[in-house]
Amino acid sequence: MNGVHDMGGMRGHGPVEREENEPAFHAEWERRAFALALAMGATGAWTLDMSRQARESLPPAQYLASSYYEIWFAALCDLICAKGLASRDEIDTGRLAAPPANIARVLKAEDVAAALAKGAPVERPARAPARFSPGDKVRAKVMHPPAHTRLPRYVRGHVGVIEEVHGCHVFPDDNAAGRGENPDWLYGVGFAAADLWGGSAHPGDKVHVDCWQAYLEPAE
Amino acid sequence: MAHDGHHDDGGSALDEMTLRVRALESLLVEKGYVDPPALDLLIETYEKKVGPRNGARVVARAWSDPDYKARLLADGTAAIAELGYSGRQGEHIKVVENTGQTHNMVVCTLCSCYPWPVLGLPPVWYKSAPYRSRAVADPRGVLAEFGVTLPPETAVRVWDSTAEMRYLVLPLRPAGTEGWDEDRLADLVTRDSMIGTGLALAPAEVEAGA
């Protein structure tokens, strides 16, 4: 969806502000919110794509005014409610009002190292040959999807060149919506910066975007 | 308030977050959905164990061993796993090499995708609106703010991490480091040089900082 999270090319956000010797976390609640988000993700109650969709679905003004972990926390609370794991009232008060729901698994301390080392690879066996090959010209489709997508606005309608075929990866638009993984071919696509941004771009500069096949059509 | 990076006026907001996160944690523990020692371990892992030193070792190895570098550029995930780094938010890693002709820079315009096993958690600026909005449209302006000015003939390639591919920049090896071992080389490899918003340190910069 065309939300404020889709920031590529926006103006007005000011300079990049850096912090010397920045710590991993800036407050104890950030540590706890981070760990809760990872541990709840490990229960299998939702997918990574659903987490991203929940963060993008926050009201735009709230998203822009929130710190990173405030966004994570708000989206985590929304997902817990949406999946029926707790009520909003329970979340706000911290007090149990209903018995727990069934969940697939609980991440235990002894399993943390193995779970992190394994991660969650998203490459899947191909069910059909890839439509495009390196060197092919492709156009990023013009689209206005109502929910999650990973095709940024700034490339839609523009022509790029297939530079790499990454394999068949879980398709986020479907996975976020609960329609299944529906793996699709993923390509590295190079776009000339001048095609995306016009005369303000430096000649010869490029932007690479990873695009699923469903986002692309042949271009002449 | 949001622009100065401090929270002088935001104490009450911080307190509110502390209370809200505490309430949620106690609820989720009581429901049996999360295991408190596992939470502690998750925090410890990303606060103390996983960080850019991992990526620096990968880069130093690539600078020292041409065969390793070839494997790293052909299959980043597998070559990085040779050094023991793998997993969450690094399941599919592609390493992009800086050369005299090309400078690479990594961003995630849609959220905050970042190669955790080799760089740890991303810094706040990487996740911020200014970087996400400008890295793709004005990379040279962003680089200038980081103190990096490239010759006009060097092409900039920005990698927007829109899928589960994660990108690690292999910076140029600084001059004057012939014969250095991997530990010494790794000290020259900054986090920003592996995101592409910086260059590897020159030997004199390390000595000046020591």
A63-79 pLDDT, tens digit each: 999 999 999 999 999 99
B43 and B56 part of one domain: no
- A50, two tokens: 């659903």
Prediction ipTM score: 0.97
B116 and B28 part of one domain: no
Contact criterion met (CB < 8 Å) for A27 and B14: yes
Give phi and psi for B139, each to the nearest 5: -65, -35
B15 and B35 part of one domain: yes
> What domains are there in chain A, each with its CATH number?
28-118 (1.10.472.20), 123-218 (2.30.30.50)
B123 and B79 part of one domain: yes
Gap from A220 CA to chain B (nearest CA, Å): 24
Contacts of residue A214, defined as CB under 8 A and 6 or more positions apart, other chains included, come to A171, A173, A184
Contact criterion met (CB < 8 Å) for A40 and B152: no
- Give a yes or no: residue B6 inside a domain: no
Range of the domain at B37: 11-47
Instruction: Tally DSSP H helices, then E strands, for chain A.
Output: 8, 6
- Give a yes or no: residue B113 inside a domain: yes
Asked if residue B105 lies in contact with residue A205, where contact means CB atoms within 8 angstroms, the answer is: no
Which tens digit of pLDDT belongs to each residue from B151-209? 999 999 999 999 999 999 999 999 999 999 999 999 999 999 999 999 999 999 987 65
B156 and B110 part of one domain: yes
Q: Is B56 exposed, middle or buried (0-12, 13-18, 19+ CB in 10 A)?
A: buried
Asked if residue A92 lies in contact with residue B25, where contact means CB atoms within 8 angstroms, the answer is: no
Which tens digit of pLDDT belongs to each residue from B91-128? 999 999 999 999 999 999 999 999 999 999 999 999 99
Give the model's pLDDT for residue A42.
96
Gap from B109 CA to chain A (nearest CA, Å): 5
Contact criterion met (CB < 8 Å) for B35 and A73: no
Residue of A nearest to B2 (CA): A65
Contact criterion met (CB < 8 Å) for B132 and A7: yes
Best A83, A200, A205, A213 residue to mutate vs chain B (most B CBs within 10 Å) = A205
- Give a yes or no: residue B5 inside a domain: no
Give the number of other Cβ atoms within 10 Å of residue B60's Cβ. 23
Q: Is B126 helix (H, G, I), strand (E, B) or coil?
A: helix
- Give a yes or no: residue B4 inside a domain: no
B77 and B165 part of one domain: yes
- B46, two tokens: 């990303």
> What is the C-alpha to C-alpha distance for residues A195 and A187, in angstroms, rounded to an integer?
19
Give me the residue label for tokens 């401090």: B6
B24 and B90 part of one domain: no
Strands B155-160 and A206-212: parallel
Give the model's pLDDT for residue A92.
95
What's the Cα-to-Cα distance from A83 to each of A57, A76, A77, A178, B141, rounded to whole Å? 15, 11, 10, 12, 43
- Give a yes or no: residue B64 inside a domain: yes
pLDDT at B8 over 60: no
Range 180-209 of B in CB contact (< 8 A) with A: none
> Among A11, A13, A9, which residue's Cα sits nearest to residue A64?
A13
- Give a yes or no: residue B3 inside a domain: no
Give the model's pLDDT for residue A144.
96
Q: Which residues pair with A191 in a beta bridge?
A: A207
Give the model's pLDDT for residue B6.
46
B36 and B137 part of one domain: no
B133 alpha carbon, distance to own chain's centre: 18
B112 and B128 part of one domain: yes
User: In chain A, which ranges are continuous DSSP H helix?
Assistant: 28-41, 48-56, 60-65, 68-82, 88-93, 109-118, 172-176, 193-197
Which tens digit of pLDDT belongs to each residue from A138-173? 999 999 999 999 999 999 999 999 999 999 999 999
Identity of the residue in A35, A121, A200 whose CB atom sits nearest the CB atom of B43 = A35
Contact criterion met (CB < 8 Å) for A186 and B163: yes
- Give a yes or no: residue B201 inside a domain: yes
**Exposed e or buried b for every residue in B7-23, given b needs 16+ CB within 10 A?**
eeeeeeebeebeebbeb
| Mean pLDDT estimate for chain A | 97
B41 and B55 part of one domain: no
Gap from B65 CA to chain A (nearest CA, Å): 25
Contacts of residue B21, defined as CB under 8 A and 6 or more positions apart, other chains included, come to A29, A32, A33, A36, A73
Residue of A nearest to B92 (CA): A121
B95 and B22 part of one domain: no
- Give a yes or no: residue B83 inside a domain: yes
Residue of A nearest to B156 (CA): A205
B40 and B113 part of one domain: no
| Mean pLDDT estimate for chain B | 93
State the CATH number of the domain containing residue B158.
Answer: 3.90.330.10
Q: What is the count of structural domains for chain B?
A: 2
